[in-house]
């Protein structure tokens, strides 16, 4: 017989599908994290707004009308919790060290019909308010 005196051991089949699945899942999680960090900083560079520092939260007005925004100051944060008007194409930064709640009033052509947004915001984030 041809090949019967081969010194190679028996052929074994290994199933790497579970390891491959875990590896792909970890790569996906890492890519999401990197996308969130770098994509937001990339948008900030494009739009000309400075990134928020580790103790700041920003609201950028990407609408055609003035918006009014406020960010809570819970968990020992200080600073005004009152509304601040932000002109179109402008931004405002709040000094906050903890996750907070932002309230945004989007004014339309009809000022008596504002639309409200409520956002959970965190330090280092600049949040864009759009028309839609």
Q: Same domain for 26 and 55? A: no
Q: Same domain for 58 and 96? A: yes
**C-alpha–C-alpha distance, residues 130 and 107, integer Å:** 12
- Residue 32 inside a domain? The answer is yes
Per-residue pLDDT, averaged over 67-84, amounts to: 90
Domain range enclosing 38: 16-48
Give me the chain's average pLDDT, please: 76
Q: Whole-model pTM? A: 0.59
Q: Same domain for 58 and 39? A: no
Per-residue pLDDT, averaged over 104-114, amounts to: 71
Q: Same domain for 20 and 81? A: no
Q: Same domain for 100 and 114? A: yes
**Phi and psi at residue 115, in whole multiples of 5°?**
-110, 140
Query: In this structure, are residues 124 and 36 in contact, taking their beta carbons and an 8 Å threshold?
Result: no
- Residue 3 inside a domain? The answer is no
pLDDT of residue 7: 58
Q: What is the DSSP letter of 112?
A: T
Say if residue 91's pLDDT is above 70: yes
Q: pLDDT for 17-38, tens place per residue?
A: 677 767 777 776 666 655 554 4
Domain of 76: which CATH number?
2.60.40.10
- Residue 10 inside a domain? The answer is no
Q: DSSP letters along 36-95, please?
A: HHHHHHHHHHHHTPPPP-TTEEEEEEESSS-EEEEE---TT--S--S-EEE-TT-EEEEE
For residue 97, give the 3-state DSSP assignment: coil
Task: Find all residues with CB under 8 Å of 19, minimum gap 6, and list them.
Answer: none
- Residue 112 inside a domain? The answer is yes
């Amino acid at each position: 017989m041809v090949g019967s005196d081969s010194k190679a051991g028996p052929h074994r089949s290994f199933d790497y599908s579970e390891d491959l699945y875990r590896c792909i899942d970890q790569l996906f999680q890492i890519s999401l994290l990197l996308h969130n960090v770098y994509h937001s900083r990339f948008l900030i560079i494009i739009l000309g707004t400075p990134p928020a520092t580790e103790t700041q939260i920003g609201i950028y007005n990407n609408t055609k009308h003035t918006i009014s925004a406020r960010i809570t100051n819970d968990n020992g944060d200080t600073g005004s919790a009152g509304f601040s008007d932000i002109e179109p194409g402008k931004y405002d930064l709040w000094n906050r060290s903890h996750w907070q709640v932002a309230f945004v009033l989007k004014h339309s052509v009809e000022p008596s019909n504002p639309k409200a947004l409520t956002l959970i915001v965190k330090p280092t984030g600049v949040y864009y308010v759009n028309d839609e």
